[in-house]
Amino acid sequence: MPSRRKSSGACLPSADGFATSLRGLEAFDELIRSRRTHKSFGPEPVPADTLDQLLELARWAPNHHRTNPWRFRVLGPETLGRLKEAAGPGEAPKLDRAPTLVLASAALSGDLEQDEEDLCAAASAIYAVLLAAHARGLGGYWRTPRVLRTKAGREAVGLPDGERFLGLIHLGTTRSRPPAPERAPLETYRFFLP
């Protein structure tokens, strides 16, 4: 018999014995729909314990063969200084947008099929971090600055060979509430096959 969690809303039983609250589903749907990219942040860094909470959730991303390919490096002031130097005066100011920067990468094995799966798993882990940050009232921005695709940028942050840079996650308190961007309607990307 499926278990049911107590809630004020109706529960839906599932095959694995967990029950899901309709209210919880609505809140989760709204969390996904309301997350935005933020480019302006308050000056306070995200506390280390909050960062640990966000990055702990990343490990629950889907991951074929459980290779745990995601890597997250929280940039300190020395590392940020080296990265800004590698970026140059034209790009360095963009690295000051958020008080907390987390470099996200995927450790690769060299097997093309496994690497493709691991890149997708690491990207899912990044999205989990962004959603968890949003749920805690923080803003996030998944950037892919050019400097981190260069040898100088990789060296500045200690990114080893065998790891693919996926993003620089900007995190912090928000200063604005960006509007919802236009999204393609479901009918343009959902297909039923015979």
Provide block-wise average pLDDT over 10 residues at a time, the chain (194 residues): 46 60 85 89 96 97 94 98 97 96 97 96 97 95 97 98 97 88 92 95
Indicate the residue type of 80: L
H or E element that contains 132: helix 112-135
Q: How many degrees, rounded to 5, is the angle at CA 15 between CA 12 and CA 18? A: 55
Q: Who's near 3: CB < 8 A, 6+ residues apart?
A: 17, 18, 19
Whole-number pLDDT of residue 2: 41
65: which 2 tokens? 């063969």
Whole-number pLDDT of residue 6: 45
Residue 86 near residue 156 (C-beta atoms within 8 A)? yes
pTM attached to this predicted model: 0.86
What is the spatial distance between Cα 153 and Cα 163, in angstroms, rounded to a whole number?
13
